[in-house]
Structure 1
Amino acid sequence: MPGTFSQIYIQIIFAVKNRDGLIKTTWEEELYKYITGIVREKQQKMLAINGTSDHIHFLIGMRPSCCLSNLVQEVKKSTNNFILEKKFCPFHFEWQQGYGAFSYSHSALDKVIGYIQNQKEHHRKRTFREEYIEFLEKFGVDFKEDYLFKWL
């Protein structure tokens, strides 16, 4: 019987609302495991996840039947509830609207996974804003500054 075969790799990036540094190292690993569970439940493959106190990156192997915007919406909605229920954050936690999604070839996976795993070190040298604009420019994504994440 014929099947569908694909290799679709997507890096997803999104930020805490107002770029507040609310993700603490004491609970970020639990958050990443929770996000991984959502991705797996949606029958996608988590390849890497990491971030800083104000944003996260994750790389997935995506099935062609996946609607990326629905997946990201579910991750954001569910993690907001998870963080609230676990009382991880003494402040109101919310993700900013929007996200970045960037595709990669199979040959680039090791480099992208390394980049994601090295987020904290990477952001000692550059801001999230610089990083995000570089992604948009590198991938040839047309954008207007007014529609990017709100920057502090």
Structure 2
Amino acid sequence: MKIEYNNLYTHFILTTYKRVAIISEKNRERIEKYITGIVSHQHSKLYAIYANPEHVHFLVSRSPHISEEELLEIVSSSTERFINSNKLVAGKFAWQQSASAFSVSKSDVDRVCKYILNQPEHHKKTTFEEEYQKFIEHYQTGINNQ
């Protein structure tokens, strides 16, 4: 069946292998633009992205023809090749073998975009470990209380 309209917002978090802070500020925008292009090529729309030294947040309105896992696999494998072939980091670059995908309601898109774009300020007060634990607690609350 053809889907005429979709509202599939997903907040992805990709983490560098062993959470090493390897993405430099000088290459951050280049990596963000590359990921934006990949998402667009998959008939999806990227709303916000920020590449921190050890993790990347991005919010996508995903095509219904691709799952979160499929989109993330394409983004991760393509960016690994891109970063390594352009020598954007010292040594070999890789992502962790697992990532996170959180559904976002239409009413929360603006709030999540602001959160993603405010990553530099956010991480002056909160480490990635603390941030990630808060995400897990927030999104697991409904599951754990059933």
* Same fold per superposition (TM over 0.5): yes
* 1:51 and 1:120 in contact (8 A); partners too: no
Match of 1:80 in 2: 80
Tell me the equivalent position of 2:123.
Answer: 123
More helix by share: 2
- The answer (yes or no) to whether the contact 1:50–1:58 under 8 Å persists in 2 is yes
Q: Distance in 2 between the 1:77 and 1:12 partners?
A: 15
1:25 equivalenced with 2:20 (yes/no): no
Partners of 1:91 and 1:118 lie apart in 2 by 29
**1:36 and 2:56 matched:** no
Give the secondary structure class of the aligned counterpart of 2:71: helix
1:3, distance to aligned residue in structure 2 (A): 4.9
Q: Which amino acid aligns with 1:126?
A: T
TM-score if structure 2 supplies the norm length?
0.91
TM-score (norm 1): 0.88
List structure 1 segments (4+ residues) > 2 angstroms apart after TM superposition: none
Letter in 1 for 2:59: L
SS at match of 1:26: helix
1:133 equivalent in alignment to 2:133: yes
Cα RMSD (Å): 1.6
Q: Can you give the 5+ residue segments of structure 1 that lack an aligned partner in the other structure?
A: 144-152
Q: What corresponds to 1:100 in structure 2?
A: 100
The percent of aligned pairs where both chains have the same amino acid is 37
Q: Secondary structure at the match of 2:133?
A: helix
Q: Secondary structure at the match of 1:92?
A: coil
How many pairs does the alignment contain? 142
1:61 and 2:61 equivalent?
Answer: yes
